[in-house]
Chain A
Amino acid sequence: MIVLAALVAGAVAVFFAGVMLLHRSLYVSAVSLLVVLLQTAVLFVLCGSPLVGLLQVMIYAGAVMVLVVVTIMAAGAEGGRFADFSFPKPLAWAGLLAAVAETALVLAHGTAPAAAVVDPALQARLGAVLFKPYALATEAVTLLMFLAALAIAPEKEAA
């Protein structure tokens, strides 16, 4: 059942990735990517990494994609190709039905939703790895995010 749920999540992710490629509207592409990222978060949970799935939902699907959609809508106020904000109803229903099917398949399994046998201490070791052997990389990424925040700071008007 769990592998079937993973199959459904993967199929829906691939379908919406195809919609991203074929649809002309940027708004539809962005919302489709949001669905893909949520389905990959489901795959993360089914692979035995709920912590990374949570990070995916919070950072990718939550922060980044909302930023992208708001940017498209802000640019759409100027008109042109960005101005189409309608999302096809059949696609919305397909995404909703997939979420219901995955939930039903996981609930039918009746236990913790992980298809692979994973060491319970794996998630706990993640923090130790990030702040011991990968401490320099972690600090570098933190600095990169700080610089990204500076990149969106408004410019001072030239005198």
Chain B
Amino acid sequence: MTALNLTAVVWGVTGALFFFGLAIVTLRRQLLAMLLGLELMLAAVNVSLVHHAGIFNDAEALAVVALVIAVAAAEAVVGLSLILRMRRGGRGADAALLTELQG
């Protein structure tokens, strides 16, 4: 019964966090805010994976969580680097202004 209640809490939190992350990525126009929304979605998925690992004693799910955390860290570093470079180049940090690629 306790595990069932915790499962309900975890699924509710995962769904709500993922929804808010998706809404931030689609509705906000600043690139940094969109990056934060992506991080929020990854964190939401991790919550359900950790709960899955606890219920089924699945070490592979924990391994996937560790890998997702590492990939998210690398993605944040690269994303922030790109955003800062665009701001320094005078192209702003608004997604609406980025309409073409330039080498």
- B22 nearest CB neighbor, chain A only: A21
Name the distance in Å between B30's Cβ and chain A's nearest Cβ.
Answer: 6
In the complex, are the beta carbons of A21 and B10 less than 8 A apart?
no
A151 at the interface (CB under 8 A from B): yes
Q: How far is the CA of A2 from the CA of B54 in the complex (A)?
A: 15
A47 at the interface (CB under 8 A from B): yes
Q: Identify which of B40, B43, B93 contacts A75 (C-beta below 8 A).
A: B93
Name the distance in Å between A39's Cβ and chain B's nearest Cβ.
Answer: 9
Chain A 112-138 per-residue mask, 1 if CB under 8 angstroms from chain B, else 0: 001111110011011011100110011
- Count of CB-CB pairs between chains A and B under 8 Å: 187
Interface size counted on chain B using CB atoms at 8 A? 57
Interface size counted on chain A using CB atoms at 8 A? 67
In the complex, are the beta carbons of A126 and B63 less than 8 A apart?
yes
- Which B residues touch A130, using CB under 8 A? 63, 66
- Which A residues touch B83, using CB under 8 A? 71
Name the distance in Å between A64's Cβ and chain B's nearest Cβ.
Answer: 5
B102 at the interface (CB under 8 A from A): no
- Which B residues touch A64, using CB under 8 A? 39, 72-73, 76-77
Write 21 A-B pairs (CB below 8 A) sorted by A numbering. Answer: A6-B6, A14-B16, A17-B17, A17-B21, A26-B32, A37-B43, A40-B44, A40-B47, A63-B73, A64-B39, A67-B76, A75-B84, A75-B87, A116-B3, A116-B6, A116-B51, A129-B63, A141-B67, A148-B74, A151-B77, A152-B80
Residues of B within 8 A of A (CB): 2-3, 5-6, 9-10, 12-13, 16-17, 20-21, 23-24, 27-28, 30, 32-33, 35-37, 39-40, 43-44, 46-47, 50-51, 53-55, 57, 59-60, 62-63, 65-67, 69-78, 80-81, 83-84, 87, 93
The list of the 9 closest CB pairs from A to B, nearest first, reads A10-B13, A125-B59, A17-B20, A148-B74, A48-B54, A148-B77, A116-B54, A14-B16, A119-B57
